[in-house]
Amino acid sequence: MSDYAIELTGINKSFGPVRANHDINLAIERGTIHGIIGENGAGKSTLMSILYGFYQADSGEIKVNGKKITIADSQVAIAAGIGMVHQHFMLVENFSVLENIILGAEGGSILNSAIDGARGELERLEEEYGLTVDPDAIIEDLPVGIQQRVEILKALYRGAEILILDEPTGVLTPAEADHLFRILNQLKDQGKTIVLITHKLREIMAVTDNVSVMRQGTMVATRKTAETNVGDLAELMVGRRVLLQVDKGDANPQDVKLAIENLTVKDSRGVTMVKDASFEVRAGEIVGIAGVAGNGQSELLKAISGIQKAESGRILLDGEPIGVTGNADPKLLRHRGMVHVPEDRHHMGLVLPFEEYENSILGYHDDEAYLNGPMLNIAAIRADADRKIEQYDIRPPNNRLKTSNFSGGNQQKIVLAREMERDPVVLLVGQPTRGVDVGAIEFIHKRIIEMRDAGKAVLLVSVELDEIRSLSDRVLVMFAGEIVGERSPETSEGDLGLLMAGINNEAAA
């Protein structure tokens, strides 16, 4: 049998005029953990989608365990021993663990017998790989770390010898991520081959044996992980030296610009998502909110920005109250100096079919600078868009390009430019670098620091703990809708991780 689990030779894939993969050659050794990194749009996901059968290559050759194979669809990939754990889990939330694992692989017309047979196999897999899960638990009742185990078990149940994981730690606490890495190493020790797609370079260094770097649709390098470092990998990804550490001086906090008092927010089901939250943000400081996704951070930002009503509590913007128990007017808040970079730029920050210049004024289109009488002044709007494009290094520099055609990092810059250029009193930033490549991360971090140093009050929400610790002057931690502690950004990742898991260890202060 070949020493390589996967061999890709001369893989090409285009979508219209866009060449996503160009003459890709990649060999992944059997029984190793192989990382694949690259900027947004580098072609990583396309390449893995070809390997898993979602796309077919325009040309090139695929070998699995030394044998040439044509992967026409995911069923062929699964039959060849390839499994994939997607970034957004493919689970039916109101099904049990066992029902999800056998879904699509029932193996017979009598469901009860299939379930009974699967139960024994699941017990064997759990024991062999240390992936303990209650087979009768309902998916929606499980924490995300356990749901991820279910996805891995689902792939193993289908006979996967090669396991592809796409951004697997995006929704995990540090402790959960560490546990995942132990599982991956155990799978490797059992002879499985792991392909890890991630933008977190420190994870690459911590868990992989080899790492391949893609840039602009090509494979630019493959390195033994022990023979490289984070700085070299970042430079290979973007083609230039990247500043990985946030360079900022001490904060100079002044007057309170945003005050949250006993704020409680419920979702559409009546479930309390934010419970009695109170804190302040001063001019000239960044207050970061850390927490695993789904612990109330999103609802908190929506309530502060006027998008979602609160059940009770008060919000004061520059000393003046905001009406929060009825739907506050986001437009009025913008004019009062509160700007919002939403967590989900696609659904809340941009209209993707619009051209860049149209999105550059979204929400501010009634500003006199953009009007010519009752009509929009298109020439003025496009000139303003060009200025923002230059200042925020938005690529390509074309204000007539549809926003959907920009990379994720450049889409985020469009939103940041629109909001930051309003000279705000308070800047709300949700997940500023979600899905953003390392070069754009560097730029975005610099801009946020510049806003703080210009005397703005910045409230930052991020599931990236490194980002929270690097940017924040004070860190609040949310768990199950409550602010469970305040810490210095120098607090260790482990201690913050305990708080994020609901363990309030005062010794961590």
- Span 398-433, pLDDT tens digits: 999 999 888 778 899 999 999 999 999 999 999 998
In the three-class reduction of DSSP (H, G, I as helix; E, B as strand; rest coil), residue 47 is classed as helix
CATH architecture designation of domain 256-508 = 3-Layer(aba) Sandwich (3.40)
Q: Do domains 4-238 and 256-508 have the same CATH topology?
A: yes
What pLDDT, on the 0 to 100 scale, is given for residue 509?
44
**Out of 24-28, 157-161, 235-239, 484-488, least confident range:** 235-239
* β partners of residue 141: none
- Span 111-122, pLDDT tens digits: 555 677 788 888
What pLDDT, on the 0 to 100 scale, is given for residue 128?
82
**DSSP character at residue 43:** S
In the three-class reduction of DSSP (H, G, I as helix; E, B as strand; rest coil), residue 176 is classed as helix
* β partners of residue 208: none
* β partners of residue 456: none
Q: Given a cut of 70, is residue 127 above it in pLDDT? A: yes
Q: Given a cut of 60, is residue 272 above it in pLDDT? A: yes
Distance between CA 162 and CA 367 in Å, rounded? 55
The CA–CA distances, whole Å, from 365 to 110, 411, 418, 470 equal: 60, 19, 11, 35
Q: Given a cut of 50, is residue 307 above it in pLDDT? A: yes
pLDDT confidence of 110, banded at 50, 70, 90? very low
What pLDDT, on the 0 to 100 scale, is given for residue 106?
62
* β partners of residue 80: none
Angle at 180 between CA 293 and CA 480, to 5 degrees: 25
More confident residue, 328 or 181: 181
- Span 48-65, pLDDT tens digits: 999 999 999 999 999 999
pTM for the model stands at 0.71
Distance between CA 266 and CA 268 in Å, rounded? 7
List, as one string, the DSSP characters of 119-152: HHHHHHHHHHHT----TTSBGGGS-HHHHHHHHH
Return the domain boundaries, the chain: 4-238, 256-508
Q: Residue 109: CB partners within 8 Å, gap ≥ 6?
A: none
What pLDDT, on the 0 to 100 scale, is given for residue 171?
67
Nearest to 303 by CA among 280, 283, 323: 323
What pLDDT, on the 0 to 100 scale, is given for residue 507?
44
**DSSP character at residue 506:** G
Residue with tokens 């889409």: 411
Going edge to edge, which strands form the sheet with 272-282?
272-282, 256-266, 312-317, 320-322
Nearest to 318 by CA among 256, 263, 254, 253: 256
Alpha carbon dihedral 486, 293, 205, 5, in 10-degree steps, equals 160
Distance between CA 114 and CA 112 in Å, rounded? 5
Distance between CA 222 and CA 208 in Å, rounded? 12
Q: Given a cut of 70, is residue 243 above it in pLDDT? A: no
Asked if 306 and 327 count as a contact pair (C-beta separation under 8 A), the reply is yes
- Span 274-301, pLDDT tens digits: 999 999 999 999 999 999 878 999 999 9
Asked if 46 and 53 count as a contact pair (C-beta separation under 8 A), the reply is no
Instruction: Give the 3-state DSSP-derived string for 420-470, with helices as H, strands as E and coil as C.
Output: HCCCCCEEEEECCCCCCCHHHHHHHHHHHHHHHHCCCEEEEECCCHHHHHH
Across 15-31, average pLDDT: 92
CATH architecture designation of domain 4-238 = 3-Layer(aba) Sandwich (3.40)
Phi, psi of 337 (to 5 degrees): 105, 15
